[in-house]
Amino acid sequence: MGKHNVTMTINGESVTAEVDSRLLLVHFIRENLDLTGTHIGCDTSNCGACTIMLDGKSIKSCTYLTVRADGANITTIEGVAAEGTNSHLQQAFHDQHGLHCGFCTPGMIIRSMDLLKTNPNPTEEEIRWGISGNLCRCTGYNNIVKSVQQAATEMAKEKEASV
């Protein structure tokens, strides 16, 4: 059983740790770093509750070895916006009632961040396909779609204002 030193940036802070080869990134985040906003829902890479941002791309952290994240830049739900503030997506999920139990929400938000980065103005169909790796059992998705649409609009407005 190998041990490895890893250093990575999580939510803007550098962390160093010694980890086992097999330690899954989701457990490192939840148990070693106590960032419990990232959840586990399936263990088989199907539900997306564990989605985090790694080097600017959404990934399922239950299917990623911690050692492989050595040197990576990671954002979890806790680092999406400054303490006490909402990102456009967080605000939109609140405004549009895009969450019920909240268990899928961190993964949904991180996945949607990646989606809006690659496709800032998605159609309803593109949103639905874009979040298809993230399951929600509560909302029926209508309001999640609306949340992503609201965030897209707000982000476009902000971009326009800044140019």
Partner 1 sequence: MIPANFNYHKVTSVKEAIALSTELGEEAKYMSGGHSLLPMMKLRFATPEHIIDISKIEGLSYIKEDGDMLKIGAMTTQTEMEHNDLLKENYPIMGDAIWLTADPSVRNVGTLGGNIAHGDAANDQPALMLAMRATVVAEGADGTKSIPIDEFFHGFYMTALEPSDVLTEIQIPKAKKGSGGAYVKIERKVGDYATAGVAVHVELDDNGVCQQIGIGLTNVSAVPMRLERGEEVLRGQTITDELIAQVGKIASEDCEPESDLRGSEAYKRSVVDTITKRMLNKALERARQ
Partner 2 sequence: MFKCKTSPEVGGMGHSVKRKEDARFLHGKGNYVDDVKLPGQLMMVMVRSPYAYAKIKSINKEKALAIPGVLAVITGYDLKEFNLHWMPTLLSDTQMVLPTDTVMHQSQEVCAVIATDRYIAVDGAEAVEVDYEPMKALVDPYKALDDDAPLLRPDKEGQEDNQIYHWEKGDRAKTDDVIAKADVVVKERVYLPRIHVASIETCGCNASYDKDTKKLTVYLTTQAPHAIRTIVALVAGHVGLSEEKIRVIAPDIGGGFGGKVPVYPAYVVAIAATFLIGKPVKWIEDRSENLVNGFARDYHMDCELAATKDGKIQAFKVSTLADHGYTDSSANPSKFPTGMFSICTGSYDYEHAFAELDAVYTNKAPGGVAYRCSFRVTEAVHAIERMVDKLAAEIKMDPAEIRFKNFIKKEQFPYASPLGWNYDSGDYKQTLEKAMEMIGYDDYKKEQAEKRAQGKLMGIGICTFTEVVGAGPSKDFDILGIAMFDSAEIRVHPTGKALARFGTKSQGQGHETTYAQILAEELGIPYTDIEIDEGDTDTAPYGLGTYASRSTPTAGAAAAMAARKLKDKGRKIAAHLLEVSEEDIEWEVGKYFVKGAPEKSKTIQDVAFAAYTNIPPGMEPGFEATHYYDPPNLTFPNGAYICVVEVEEETGAIDVKRFVAIDDCGNVINPMIVEGQVHGGLTQGIAPAMYEGIVYDDEGNVLNGTLMDYLVPTAVESPHWETGHTITPSPHHPLGAKGVAESPTVGAPPAIANAIIDALYPLGIKHLDIPITPDKVWDAIQVAKAKA
Ligand X SMILES: Cc1cc2nc3c(=O)[nH]c(=O)nc-3n(C[C@H](O)[C@H](O)[C@H](O)COP(=O)(O)OP(=O)(O)OC[C@H]3O[C@@H](n4cnc5c(N)ncnc54)[C@H](O)[C@@H]3O)c2cc1C
Q: What does the binding site for ligand X look like in residue numbers (CB under 6 A)? A: 45-46, 63
Structure tokens at 137: 């059992």
DSSP 8-state symbol, 12 = T
Distance CA 62, CA 44 (A): 8
Residue 74 host element (H or E):
strand 73-75
Q: Which is nearer to ligand X, 46 or 149 (CB)?
A: 46
| Alpha-carbon torsion angle 155, 145, 137, 35, nearest 10 | -10
Fill in the per-residue mask, 45 to 84: x = in contact with ligand FES (CB under 6 A), - = not in contact: xxxxxx---------x-x----------------------
Coil/strand/helix, residue 79: helix
Q: Which is nearer to partner 2, 7 or 142 (CB)?
A: 142
By the criterion CB under 8 A, which residues form the site for partner 2? 20, 22-23, 27, 30-31, 34-44, 46-47, 49, 76-78, 80-81, 86, 90, 93-95, 97, 99-106, 109, 124, 127-129, 131-145
